[in-house]
Amino acid sequence: MDQRFEFRHGTDSRVRIGPGAEAELPAAVHALGAADAVVLHDPAVAALAERLAGAVGARAVLPVPSGETCKQLPVLGRLTSELIAVGASRGTALIAVGGGSVSDAVGFLASIWMRGVPLVLCPTTTLALCDAALGGKNGVDHDGLKNLLGTVRQPDLVFGDLDWLTTLPDAPFREGLVEVVKKAAVLDRAHFAELERLAPYLYARRAPAVLAAIEMAVAMKMAVVQGDEHEQDRRRWLNAGHTIGHALESLAAGALRHGQCVAMGLLAECRAAADVVPAAVTARLGALLQAIGVAAAVPAAFADPRALWELAGKDKKVQRGRVVMVVPAAIGEGRVVELTPERLAHAFG
């Protein structure tokens, strides 16, 4: 097994994940040239946020509502008032400490507050480390629809350490790793095979395996994000599992976590596109999700093709009236296909 315990993404010093990241954070923030910093954090990681704020000499520490509930415009309005109250300025870096919800909300705020201020992301979930904190997309939900308002704005720094995840329960910890599985399924056959090998270690939360998986996720996502025009088109491939996944998440209205929905969406989309995705590919994907300990069966209450079709049609991924999704035509080979009501009818077996 790969015994590396830390990595930077290539020559890109903005992404630093592994032991030692916390100690290096103050110097990295200082090097941004920001006047000062404000830490905004999920309440679940308040102690970490206070520690990081102390280390960087932050002007203030502001809690944001826990999880997805922070991804709302009124919350950004309140946070803006709090930033004004603590004297934050155009030169103040915003440091987001929390999962993907916090990085999405604070990332959006950093892109619009004062027309844009430095942004530092300190992800504290596997999902945020493997996906949400990378690539620059941010946003908030609106009218029950996911990520309807947002921008694309690269973070200046992404710093993370597995020690920050010790309090994260097993279920969300494992579900976050679905974002690596998703990318490998449509982008990289060798990484998919490596994940199959690592699965028992990932299930057991063994640090070297988890860091290896995160490194794969960073490499795959950054290759797509930093890629040429052709690869920009591939950015859509990162949405594998998310067409049905987001519809499920909206329908479940908080009853299912994002990572659960992506896992369910991945398999449901493969079944829906059974004319494109060989049964052996769907089976391999299902086996890998099971091996890392993620349940991908859609609860009966949400396996409602009609309601899901309505929600999928409102998603921002809809292109000229077509609902599109990305499925693995083979392991490591994504293919864009159209989701239709007929296909959706086959999504739940």
Exposure string over 59-69, b if 16+ CB within 10 A, otherwise e: bbbbbbbebbe
Query: 136 is written with which tokens?
Result: 């620059």
Rounded to an integer, what distance in angstroms lies between the CA atom of residue 247 and that of residue 306?
11
User: Closer to ligand NAD at the Cβ: 59 or 108?
Assistant: 108
User: Closer to ligand NAD at the Cβ: 40 or 59?
Assistant: 40
Q: How far is the CB of 280 from ligand NAD (least distance, A)?
A: 28
Q: How far is the CB of 285 from ligand NAD (least distance, A)?
A: 18
Q: How far is the CB of 308 from ligand NAD (least distance, A)?
A: 17
User: Do residues 334 and 328 make contact, with C-beta atoms less than 8 angstroms apart?
Assistant: yes
User: Closer to ligand NAD at the Cβ: 269 or 343?
Assistant: 269
Residue with the two structure tokens 């502001």: 62
Amino acid at 244: I
Binding site for ligand NAD (CB under 6 A): 42, 44-45, 66-68, 71, 98-102, 104, 124-125, 127-128, 131-132, 135, 137-138, 146-147, 164-165, 167-168, 172, 176, 258-259
Q: How far is the CB of 347 from ligand NAD (least distance, A)?
A: 21
User: Closer to ligand NAD at the Cβ: 2 or 170?
Assistant: 170
Strand ranges, E, within the chain: 7-9, 12-17, 36-41, 60-63, 92-98, 119-123, 140-142, 145-149, 157-160, 323-330, 333-339
User: Closer to ligand NAD at the Cβ: 132 or 184?
Assistant: 132
User: Closer to ligand NAD at the Cβ: 59 or 124?
Assistant: 124
Q: How far is the CB of 316 from ligand NAD (least distance, A)?
A: 12
Report the chain's terminal Cα–Cα distance, integer Å. Answer: 36
Considering only CA atoms, which of 93, 124, 111, 104 is closest in space to residue 29?
A: 93
Q: How far is the CB of 332 from ligand NAD (least distance, A)?
A: 20
Residue with the two structure tokens 């790969």: 2
